Chains A and B, each alone.
Chain A
């Protein structure tokens, strides 16, 4: 079985400050890991993903995440928050080679940006 834990259902940061959203996973096999973002009244869109290879992955809008196998983590960061980053963020895990049909989502973290 696989699962994802997102620490902090709500995170607030000041504009220009570092954004850090935490995600820990559990998987009995090598995982594929994803971050999705949901802006108000919209569906989810992919921010970035880790499958194999380089453990630091870069995504859209200046976000990046690092896969740390020893810590079973895949935290999302952005050096400088922008007002447009206010959204809900979801971490997700799937079993390698099983693709999308086995994607398990976390419960989400709502990011608020303080002007």
Chain B
């Protein structure tokens, strides 16, 4: 089974802090994604990566950056956290490119910014 592990299930940070959300997968998938989930808004894509050191902006990249130094690890970085970034963050992976395959999700990281 594919396993997507998000390092923290719950985080509480203060405004202005730098926040790192880590995601690790064990299935050698090329594609990795970071989504944000908010009530009434569904899932919105922040960034995705289709290879090591490669990244593409999603629909809402403002205020976020990402890092993919190794194939299995994809990090989401909030350089200066703000209260409007309080949300559930979901990491996902998928095999291949240009193929409508299945997304495999982690359990999510719920971030509260005070």
Contacts and interface: CB of A to CB of B under 8 A. Distances in A.
Contact of B103 (A41, A44, A51, A108): A44
B97 interface: yes
A88 to B, nearest CB: 10
Contacts, number: 64
B27 interface: no
B56 A101 contact: yes
Interface string A91-115: 0001011111101011110000000
B12 interface: no
A94 to B, nearest CB: 6
A46 B103 contact: yes
B100 A96 contact: yes
Nearest to B38: A107
Interface footprint category on B? 20 to 34
Nearest to B29: A100
A41 B102 contact: no
B48 A101 contact: yes
Contact of B98 (A34, A99, A103): A99
Contacts of A49: 100, 102
B42 A103 contact: no
Interface centre among B41, B50, B102, B106 (most CB of A within 10 A): B102
A70 interface: no
Interface of A: 9, 32, 34, 36, 41-46, 49, 51, 90, 94, 96-101, 103, 105-108
Given A49-B100, A96-B100, 18 more contacts: A36-B103, A41-B107, A41-B108, A42-B107, A43-B92, A44-B103, A45-B105, A49-B102, A51-B100, A99-B31, A99-B94, A99-B98, A101-B31, A101-B56, A101-B97, A103-B45, A103-B103, A107-B41
